[in-house]
Chain A
Amino acid sequence: MNGTAAELELHGVAKRFPALAHPAVDQVSLKAHQGCLLALLGPSGCGKTTLLRLIAGFESPDEGEVLLDGRSVAGTGGWIPPERRGVGMVFQDFALFPHLTVQRNIAFGLPAGDTSRVREVIGLVGLEAIEHRYPHELSGGQQQRVALARALAPRPRIIVMDEPLSNLDLQLRLHLRHELRAILKAEGVTAVLVTHDQEEALSFADEVAVLREGRLEQVGPPEELYLKPATRFVAEFVTQANFLPARAAEGGYDTEAGHFPSLENAPTESAVDLMIRQEDLALDLHPSGPAVILDRHFLGRGYSYVIGTPSGLRLHARTTAATSLPPGARVRLSTAPERLRAFLR
């Protein structure tokens, strides 16, 4: 950003496993600056965990280079083993040492006798009352905090987390997501979080990198990914939008569900998939409308609609509670021109 070396840099990193047809990680280049929270997002098997293990030093890359604070730790510049990388790690199942108390788990990576730092991180994650318990005596949320405190204690330059919240129930997950972000920001540590949950990635991270079959699809701030997905895969995975087959026409796109004006200029007559986010789809009651309401669910803060097109395609829409349309009603569909995106087929 401002000329200083990035905390974490990957240059064309690739990793193959014999059992896998495509490379687990394929030519990935990434950067994360000091204090940045980076999320690696993708479906299972996309290579995000392998990438994390390459950074931590539990796998070595077949190609490319991994740099921490400008220093090569894997690749052409040699090899630094995990214990000398200063990369803290938090696992999905926390991997707490079952034979040690909370306090001794946290002190594990510190020089013997450094009790002040232990005290400090115990305070940071709020574990004061339970520091003498053993891992099996803790709830899932407490175990998660211990794992985080243990990784933070030796003041790593960077901390990597493999699905750290996915073993917790939904309520706790939402709560800890914000707490985790606040703790990491307070420590000023650079963090990489692996997740398959797009909502978690978008709300937690400063930067999100979307991976698919080992390749980097797009990297950018959450808003950019959501508003300007670079590929159809990113659009589908990150925004869960509708895709409507369309043909480029004068000033917009023609579809079976009507004409959608657009600001984009696709080559005329080219076949595209039109991306319409659920919250962008406006529904207007009209007796000769091309689409029909099939089903609706009341969500409290609004409605979720299922809409059928003439060809039988199903679209999803979300509206405020003010728009109440009965199933069976015919509707016309529209969106704001600037919200529309088209992907060439």
Chain B
Amino acid sequence: MTRTRPWPAAALAAATAITFVSLSLPLVYLLQRAASIGASDLLATLIEPANLRVLANSALLGIAVAAFSLLIALPLAVLTTRTDLPARRIWTVVSILPLAVPSYAGSFALIAAFAPRGSYLQLILEPLGVTELPSIIGWPGAIAGIALFSYPYLLLTLRTGLGGIPAATEEVARSLGLSRRATFFRVVLPQLRPSLVAGLLLVALYALRDLGTPALMRVDVFTRVIYSHYTLSFDRNRAAALALMLALMVMALLWVEARTRTRAAYFSRRGAPGRPAPLIALGRWRWPAVAFCSTVAFFSVALPAAMSALWVWRGISSATLPADRFARGLDVTSNSLLVSGAAAIAVIAFALPAAILAARAPGRVTSAVERFSYIAFSLPGIVVALALVSAGTRYFPALYQTLALLIFACFVLFFPQGLGATRSAILQLNPQLEESARSLGHTPWHALREVAIPLVRPGLVTGGLLVFLTAMKELPATLMLAPPGFDTLATRIWKATEDVYFAEAGLYALAMIAVSGPVILAVVRRSGWAGGEWRE
């Protein structure tokens, strides 16, 4: 079937070209910086023992967080989709809620609760003669502090994956003589593998890109080291070399993921898997299952919320949290809403043309943009921020430290996430609908506006909400690019925890949860309890 260009291609292509240039800026900076260092110096920096240790730490953190997330997410996914777990729907929502808690806020709560001295647990145990707890600062804290608040990314891909496995394949396995247990390992898990790999990758990427938790838990991974070079020594070359290493590492992960997909089909033939799988009766395992879900919810939802509330209450009762902080809190919250909202709108506005082009006029240029957006996706926030700081001071001094540059950074960082959601919405749209509109005498623009966009609007809104949510929690780029005196919830929580001003950190963390929680609920509801396109 030949397709004469049915799209107002020029306008769409222009918008896509702007996106392409924007996304390429950080990468261009990174390569240019690497070139200016010179090959031999660069190589010397890359194999410096201290840097190799940072590389090993980052790899270890990514693997450990992925493994710990798997222990949480796989049982939760099976329990909430395949069993008669009591109050299953409530657990479904609760298990996704940790996405509302930024990892630095969650880690701060862990420290407040379990730090060796002066934490709640130590104070509770003091009468028993416990004067000091084993330290949570370090690897245990870093792994728990990231995994507890990023496992939902794995959970959501696993839930989608489980939902896509036709019940009939499991029934065939049973009729061929396999027990329920053997069926799970030989039929369900292999079909789940692509979701498993994708989800583990998301979580590992999250761990590699996270700045807040490693900094709080004092683990020397790339993000923390780059940030301290940036703030303390301002050694641009060293920071750039480390950023390059981090970017290469993330790209390697993405490459491995692409390679693991074998020839076997990772799609169900007709899309819809038909009849849902019958629920497994848990029997006497139901209460241990509930205990498991409760434990996860305690650490990942209840603890951060309760700790924050406790510190706020203590701050009020000891008058260390003056009333004007609440008014300031409102200001900071509206700053966060402004930046995240603007980023979400910009991302969707530019993702839509790119997605339409990719779906309706596939060609070399459009697929290049798409692939490119995933390379940009591999650039962590701290790398993008570093690039924009550098480019800003050098080439666009007028833009440096303006709100516009901050929003632009969020646009570059979260465009791939918005494109994913938008693209899947467009791909579900039958092109014959627009063709019918055109055969009835409508112009391409009109067909687009009257038929296509109304139909994909739910997908666009979901994508926008996801970008909004991620932008709310974003830390390094906001820290490095926000105009002087401009604070968001993320930066306030961060600065308060650095100053050990727990009451204020608690206040802003509560505000963050109050804004993000409803957004999560909206996304979960919109995507039919199963999660749609969730990526970060």
Contacts and interface: CB of A to CB of B under 8 A. Distances in A.
B2 interface: no
A193 to B, nearest CB: 15
A95 B265 CA distance: 13
Contacts of A249: none
Contacts of A99: 190-191, 193, 264-265
Interface stretch (B23-31, B163-171, B227-235, B521-529): B163-171
B400 to A, nearest CB: 52
B292 interface: no
Contact of A84 (B177, B186, B187, B268): B177
Contact of B166 (A95, A108, A151, A154): A95
Given A98-B264, A99-B193, A134-B263, A93 B269 contact: yes
Contacts of B265: 98-99, 134-137
Nearest to B270: A93
A65 to B, nearest CB: 20
Interface string B375-418: 00000000000000000000000000000000000000000000
Contacts, number: 83
B264 A83 contact: no
Interface in B257-282: 263-270, 274, 278
B170 to A, nearest CB: 9
Given A83-B178, A99-B191, A108-B176, A56 B269 contact: no
Contacts of B176: 83, 88, 108-109, 150-151, 154
Nearest to A59: B278
B175 A83 contact: yes
B215 to A, nearest CB: 41
B191 A97 contact: yes
Given A100-B264, A134-B263, A150-B172, A93 B166 contact: yes
Contact of B269 (A82, A84, A108, A135): A135
A31 interface: no
A126 interface: no
Interface in A123-176: 134-137, 150-151, 154
Interface string A104-116: 0000110000000
Given A99-B190, A99-B191, A135-B269, A83 B177 contact: yes
A216 to B, nearest CB: 24
A37 interface: no
B218 interface: no
Contact of B169 (A56, A57, A97): A97
A139 to B, nearest CB: 12
Name the prevailing secondary structure of the B interface residues.
loop
A150 B178 CA distance: 14
B173 interface: yes
Contacts of A96: 169
A294 to B, nearest CB: 35
A108 to B, nearest CB: 6
A324 B71 CA distance: 77
A91 interface: yes
A298 interface: no
B174 interface: yes
B187 A97 contact: yes
A136 B267 contact: yes
B172 A89 contact: yes
A155 to B, nearest CB: 11
Nearest to B182: A83
B317 interface: no
A134 B177 contact: no
Given A81-B174, A87-B175, A108-B176, A98 B268 contact: yes
Interface string B233-272: 0000000000000000000000000000001111111100
A27 B265 CA distance: 43
A295 B191 CA distance: 55
A64 B10 CA distance: 70
A96 B270 CA distance: 12
A193 B224 CA distance: 65
A108 B264 contact: no
A58, A83, A108, A154 pick with most chain B CB within 10 angstroms? A83
Contacts of A296: none
Given A98-B191, A99-B190, A134-B264, A89 B179 contact: no
A83 B174 contact: yes
A235 B190 CA distance: 49
Contact of B175 (A85, A134, A136): A85
A97 B191 CA distance: 8
A58 B264 contact: no
Contacts of A109: 176-177
Contacts of B177: 83-84, 86, 109, 154
Nearest to A133: B263
A88 to B, nearest CB: 6
Contact of A83 (B169, B179, B268): B179
Nearest to B269: A136
A87 B187 CA distance: 19
Contacts of B179: 81, 83
A46 B265 CA distance: 35
9 contacts: A56-B175, A58-B171, A81-B179, A88-B176, A98-B268, A100-B190, A134-B264, A151-B176, A154-B177
Given A57-B174, A97-B187, A154-B177, 14 more contacts: A83-B174, A83-B175, A83-B179, A84-B177, A85-B175, A95-B166, A95-B171, A98-B169, A98-B264, A98-B266, A99-B191, A109-B176, A137-B265, A151-B175
Q: What are the 6 A-B residue pairs with the smallest beta carbon separation, nearest first? A: A109-B176, A95-B168, A136-B265, A82-B174, A89-B175, A99-B190
